Chains A and B, each alone.
Chain A
Amino acid sequence: MSTFVHTTVTAEVRRLRATRSTSVSLLAVLAFTAFIGVATVLLAGHQENGPLTAHNLDDAIRAPAKVLGFVLLLVGVLLSAGEHRHHTVVPTLLAEPRRRRVVAAKVTAMAGLGAVAALAVAALVAAVSVPMLATHDAPAQHLAALPAGVLALVVTSVGYGVLGVALGLLLRNQTTALVTALVWQFVVEGILPVVLRAPSLPTYLPGGAVSSLARLGHHTAHGALPAWQGGVLFTAYAVVMVLVATVVSVPRDVT
């Protein structure tokens, strides 16, 4: 196990760090998602938004979940499908021909990146929001709400990153994988319930599960799952996708 972490996972972490587009897009999204969180606090009490309360910090930390998650999904795709685009899959599989280990290393590295990114965003949002909320309410109440929001953000970020790795492994073509992710996120999840005449379906799709987890969907007509159920459902999607991607990708020839 320690050898696996020391070699294959380290290689994937180095790959993430060495890829400029990954670093730049992550830094940009960290800044943007932190802004979303801070804006949630700043806009409380204005227009139709509710007043500033102790719950706002929790909401502020959960608010960037989908944006951060989606960027991590794309980074996950680059980490797996990008290997085929740039043919780096050849030295990767020569160094570690046991392909399940390579899949596990990519999933581990991406899960780690997702967790670190989520914690960084949560810390940034909290650093700006707590002093502002403290002027309106008791600080202890804000901090008590913190762990659940942070956990939701971590689960979302890790899950999306892992889904991206699985999607890239499954499709191999980087452009196809990126387009599929975009189409699924912005088209399929909206159209599928209409086509299938199942208005409650969105709640049970990956995007709906994240909305439940991040409490972003409780205003919709068809309601949402409890946050923990959303988290379990989303995690199940990620796990199943990784298993399917492993079964499909491991026996493939690398030509």
Chain B
Amino acid sequence: MTTITMHDLTKRYRDVTAVDHLSLEVRAGAVTGFLGPNGAGKSTTMRMLLGLVRPTGGTATFDGVRYAALPHPARTVGALLDPGVFHPGHRGRSALRIVAAATGVPDRRVDEVLDVVGLTDAARRRVGGYSMGMRQRLALAGALLGDPETLVLDEPANGLDPEGMRWLRGFLRRLAGEGRTVLVSSHVLAELAQSVDDVVIIARGRLVTAGGMSDLLASHHQTDLEELFLDLTS
């Protein structure tokens, strides 16, 4: 049971403040939707959380520990930040075997996660020949390699067909049901509304609101997530 905590998290690029004193908590056993307009700072926040981008100030931790200081980071936290993170000349299985070696998980786990995301039949094909949806599934397989307690997913529904989206929805619900922590950003609000328990909305790098989805809808007199989002960010 891992809690994600961000405290006063800030990132400035010269004159631009991408993330501005952001503080929030993401609980275990729930799917938390991380929402914001384009350029709100969602991806930068996730990259700071995962140690890829150095914060200008503040902290982002998993149960109080920075990602880089976790004893087995990729076995504790699985992340999908971009579907295009595999060499197009590598075969699907080879690409995952590289990550598996770096993560310290056995090769048999590669076949397991390929099966989970439905890519077993495409495992020997080169990634360059994959569709966008297949790349997204491969990236998700990479995130699952270490069987992590926590998942951080940036736009995981991008490129998925309706069947894939339904599968993803059920998959995220199952992970949360197992007590895992799931933080997921998405622009497809109608889709996200069917999967999330909690919602965090940011705009211009700052926290707009956070809480249980039903509580937020009730307190803002809204009936769906899209209306709530537009009401708070426009």
Contact = CB atoms under 8 A, between A and B. Distances in A.
A8 B68 contact: no
A6 B198 CA distance: 40
B68 A19 contact: no
A88 interface: yes
Contact of A95 (B54, B91, B97, B102): B102
A253 B50 CA distance: 11
B88 A94 contact: no
Given A18-B98, A94-B74, A95-B99, A254 B53 contact: yes
B52 A93 contact: yes
Interface in A79-111: 82, 86-88, 90-98
A21 B87 CA distance: 12
Contacts of A14: 94, 97-98, 101
B101 A254 contact: no
A90 B89 contact: no
Interface residues of A, number: 29
A18 B95 contact: yes
B142 A18 contact: no
A91 B53 contact: no
A11 B99 contact: yes
Contacts, number: 90
A18 B99 CA distance: 12
Interface string B100-127: 0111100000000000000000000000
Contacts of B73: 94-97
Given A86-B88, A94-B73, A11 B53 contact: no
Contacts of A95: 73-74, 99, 102-103
Nearest to A98: B68
A10 B101 CA distance: 6
A251 interface: yes
Nearest to A83: B87
Contact of A18 (B81, B90, B102, B103): B90
A219 interface: no
Q: Find the residue from A8, A20, A92, A253 having the highest chain B CB count within 10 A.
A: A253
Contacts of A251: 54
Contacts of B81: 90
Contact of A91 (B54, B85, B94): B85
Interface of B: 44, 47, 50-54, 67-68, 73-74, 79, 81-82, 84-91, 94-95, 97-99, 101-104, 142
Given A14-B97, A15-B98, 7 more contacts: A14-B98, A18-B91, A91-B98, A93-B51, A93-B52, A94-B79, A97-B68
